Structure 1
Amino acid sequence: MTDPFAQKKETAAAWFKSLRDQICAEFEALEREAPSDLYPGEPGTFVYEDWQRQVEDGGGGTGGMLRGRLFEKCGVHISVVKGEFNEEMAARVPGADKDPRFWAAGISLIAHIVNPRVPAVHMNTRYIVTTKDWFGGGGDLTPTQAVDRNQDSPDAKAFHAGMKAACDAHAVADYPKFKDWCDEYFHLHHRDEPRGIGGIFYDRHNSGDWDADFAFTQDVGRHFIKTYADIVRGRMDEPWTEEEREEQLITRGRYVEFNLLWDRGTTFGLKTGGNVKTILSSMPPVCKWP
């Protein structure tokens, strides 16, 4: 039987790989540009590792990890996986109640920076197919200093402007809705506090115009690269104190709590036999719970 989604799958997967290459090239450029007096040593580069799901013909992906002098730990991963949802997951995913088979491709990244004045960032976009299909993803910023964790901070304004620009260029995108969705999603309910300053988040997005939805998803990636790179370049020359580093490590602990307790992407990856190493690479290299 001919797969009606075959061309869309191929097109989306190729884009995620291309976006991975663009992001990694830009992050490696930032590594090289970082001033040596604040960031001694050789600039880091990404190390790539392929992985396969432990099921027959289940697909896999490529994990890319950068441990450098500016990027303390950064993961940029792509995957193309397929299989069948278990009964629990099939009941929760659109179109899977009729047929538990799924196909999913995407890119996911998290960057933790040595300098506590440079915010951490997360971004992912994905395309998922069951008997239905949709896009999802977004990006959000997590400043590690209290002075920067508000909507009026320069970094927050810059990041939101970039995400708004990605939405405003496409009639199928709704920036106010996606911004509110991000604020609601990236919230530590057990502490009743936000993870960061937000961004955008969208899921199960199918407007009925695949090309328009795909174009929007591409622009999320493009605007992310420029917006975040500009933020890093604007702040990486700033020196920091031990007190600021301490605050950064405590904020990172909150990041761990969210990913393990509330993040649906982590749950999806683990319950569908994803690669544990890449799924949990979002965890910061060092953090504290005082």
Structure 2
Amino acid sequence: MTDFESRKTRAADWFKSLRNEICAEFETLEREAPSDLYPGEPGKFVYEDWQRKVENGGGGTGGMLRGRLFEKCGVHISVVKGEFTPEMAARTPGADKDPRFWAAGISLIAHMRNPHIPAVHMNTRYIVTTQDWFGGGGDLTPTQAKDRRPDAPDALAFHAGMKAACDAHEVADYNRYRDWCDEYFHLHHRDEPRGTGGIFYDRLNSGNFEADFAFTQDVGRHFVKTYAAIVRGRMNEPWTEADREEQLITRGRYVEFNLLWDRGTTFGLKTGGNVKTILSSMPPLVKWP
């Protein structure tokens, strides 16, 4: 018989550990940012616990950083449980037999003050019904047209990091996950990509929990290393008002995707998640000219 309880504990502990590693690295970047471009005191994460409104439904911890380098950054972890609605149960593996679910994960979004540093999103999760699986990925969203080419240096570096995470594990398929990411993070109403992609995977259950878990952990580890290197490589670049204007307009596309197309937003809201953390992905400033 599958020991789901042990798997749940290990997954939840990992997501918390990854949260701590990411937040520590991002606060280090805040301190390293040059004061001539980013005046003021370096920001620190502020954490806030929350509980689902349903009894014994679990909850999570939201972490928000509003700094001088990271204009707005949310790194959140959660462990929730409950029952799917009949509509959601019909679309979810194993929930047609029993609507109860358990889910844990980490989700982050970083919107940077410097228009030359791309925004980034990452999440990984573990979900249990009468079946269990992992999902997640990471994607990059440059805000300047010159950086949104597939062959731009930041795009190549980010994809190299995600490919390295996939190539180390037989259960992962980089080419498939890359294409899945491009398909998922597409603004259908504008027929344009949200950014320069990355990887996306869902319902990963190869039949080997240890292999699936190890891959999901490596996605997190490679993300931290890869994105921190991109930030350090761009944080010393000055910017103009025109650069900032382009950044704010590009952020509008980010809002459109998250509110119109993102399944994670829908899942969180429909299962009684914390609205504050779910919508923390919204950029702090944005324009629709």
Tell me what 1:134 maps to. 133
Shift of 1:254: 0.2
Shift of 1:136: 0.1
Q: Determine whether 1:122 maps to 2:124.
A: no
Q: Secondary structure at the match of 2:199?
A: strand
**Whole-Å Cα distance in 1 between the matches of residues 119 and 154 of structure 2?**
11
Mind listing any 5+ residue stretches in structure 2 that lack a counterpart?
Answer: none
Tell me what 1:150 maps to. 149
Deviations 1:126-166 (A, max 9, x none): 00000010000000000000000011100000000000000
The one-letter amino acid paired with 2:244 is R
The one-letter amino acid paired with 1:78 is I
**Whole-Å Cα distance in 1 between the matches of residues 257 and 116 of structure 2?**
21
Give the TM-score of the pair, scaled to structure 2.
0.99
**Whole-Å Cα distance in 2 between the matches of residues 247 and 130 of structure 1?**
44
**Whole-Å Cα distance in 2 between the matches of residues 266 and 12 of structure 1?**
21
**Whole-Å Cα distance in 2 between the matches of residues 101 and 273 of structure 1?**
14
**Whole-Å Cα distance in 1 between the matches of residues 266 and 3 of structure 2?**
28
Q: Secondary structure at the match of 1:107?
A: strand
Tell me what 1:30 maps to. 29
Tell me what 2:214 maps to. 215
Q: Secondary structure at the match of 2:121?
A: strand
Q: Determine whether 1:61 maps to 2:73.
A: no
Mind listing any 5+ residue stretches in structure 1 that lack a counterpart?
Answer: none
Tell me what 2:239 maps to. 240
Tell me what 1:73 maps to. 72
The one-letter amino acid paired with 2:171 is V
**Whole-Å Cα distance in 2 between the matches of residues 87 and 282 of structure 1?**
28
Tell me what 1:188 maps to. 187
Tell me what 1:21 maps to. 20
**Whole-Å Cα distance in 2 between the matches of residues 215 and 4 of structure 1?**
17
Q: Secondary structure at the match of 1:137?
A: strand
Sequence identity (%): 84
Which consecutive aligned stretches of 4+ in structure 1 deviate over 3 angstroms post-superposition?
none
**Whole-Å Cα distance in 1 between the matches of residues 35 and 2 of structure 2?**
53
Tell me what 2:85 maps to. 86
Q: Determine whether 1:289 maps to 2:288.
A: yes
**Superposed CA RMSD:** 0.8
**Whole-Å Cα distance in 1 between the matches of residues 15 and 91 of structure 2?**
25
**Whole-Å Cα distance in 2 between the matches of residues 250 and 94 of structure 1?**
38
Shift of 1:4: 3.1
Shift of 1:3: 7.8
Aligned length: 289
**Whole-Å Cα distance in 2 between the matches of residues 206 and 181 of structure 1?**
17
Alignment of 1:211-290 (within 5 A): 211-290=210-289
The one-letter amino acid paired with 2:185 is F
**Whole-Å Cα distance in 2 between the matches of residues 108 and 114 of structure 1?**
20
**Whole-Å Cα distance in 2 between the matches of residues 5 and 272 of structure 1?**
21
CA spacing shift, 1:3–1:49, aligned 2, 3 Å? farther
**Whole-Å Cα distance in 2 between the matches of residues 141 and 118 of structure 1?**
10
The one-letter amino acid paired with 2:251 is R
Give the TM-score of the pair, scaled to structure 1.
0.99
